[in-house]
């Protein structure tokens, strides 16, 4: 048996041959728009993502997962700490025992305000809520490291 035949090429009866190129009408919407980093500007793509989150939140305004993810998007992508804080607060109200959202909120407080005492309270709540969550523990460790470095610089 030849290598070509084992791979499914050649005979025409195999459905495992190379895929034929697709027409633009057969390509998904992300590919038509140029993929994640395509020809459309980053600002337009970010606007679409923000619009999508807002639509989803209209239909599920108390969904802690949506609130947390939108807050994270606002914080990390839009760099809008004020609105991110609002949505993290809503996510915490919707799910007060969610260690990940408490940790993300602590990180926002630390990065935006450099309020170590307030951030530490949220990180400690996060660790108490999710003592086995490596993301929560790692985020808290990073905060302790950075806060410790700042304390050393001021001495």
Query: pLDDT of 64-121, one tens digit each?
Result: 999 999 999 999 999 999 999 999 999 999 999 999 999 999 999 999 999 999 999 9
pLDDT at 155: 65
Give residue 112's pLDDT: 96
Buried b (16+ CB within 10 A) or exposed e, 100-127: bbbbbbbbbbbebeeebeebbebbebbb
More confident residue, 23 or 111: 111
Q: Which residues contact 55 (CB under 8 A, 6 or more apart)?
A: none
Instruction: Answer yes or no: is pLDDT of 132 > 80.
Output: yes
The mean pLDDT of 21-30, rounded to a whole number, is 44
Q: What is the pLDDT of residues 28-51, one digit of tens each?
A: 444 444 444 444 567 788 889 999
Q: Which domains does the chain have, with CATH numbers?
A: 42-154 (1.25.40.10)
Can you tell me which residue has the tokens 């993301």?
135
Give the pTM: 0.70
């Amino acid at each position: 048996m030849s290598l070509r035949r084992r791979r499914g090429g050649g005979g025409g009866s195999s459905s495992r041959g190379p895929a034929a190129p697709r027409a633009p009408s057969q390509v998904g919407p992300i590919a038509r728009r140029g993929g994640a980093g395509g020809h459309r500007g980053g600002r337009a793509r970010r606007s679409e993502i923000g619009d999508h989150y807002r639509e989803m939140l209209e239909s599920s305004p108390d969904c802690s997962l949506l609130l947390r993810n939108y807050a994270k998007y606002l914080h990390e992508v839009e760099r809008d700490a004020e609105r991110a804080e609002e949505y993290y607060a809503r996510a915490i109200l919707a799910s007060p025992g969610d260690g990940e959202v408490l940790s993300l909120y602590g990180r926002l407080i630390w990065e935006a305000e450099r309020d170590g005492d307030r951030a530490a309270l949220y990180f400690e709540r996060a660790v108490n809520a999710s003592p086995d969550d490596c993301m929560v523990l790692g985020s808290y460790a990073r905060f302790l490291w950075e806060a410790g470095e700042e304390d050393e610089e001021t001495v």
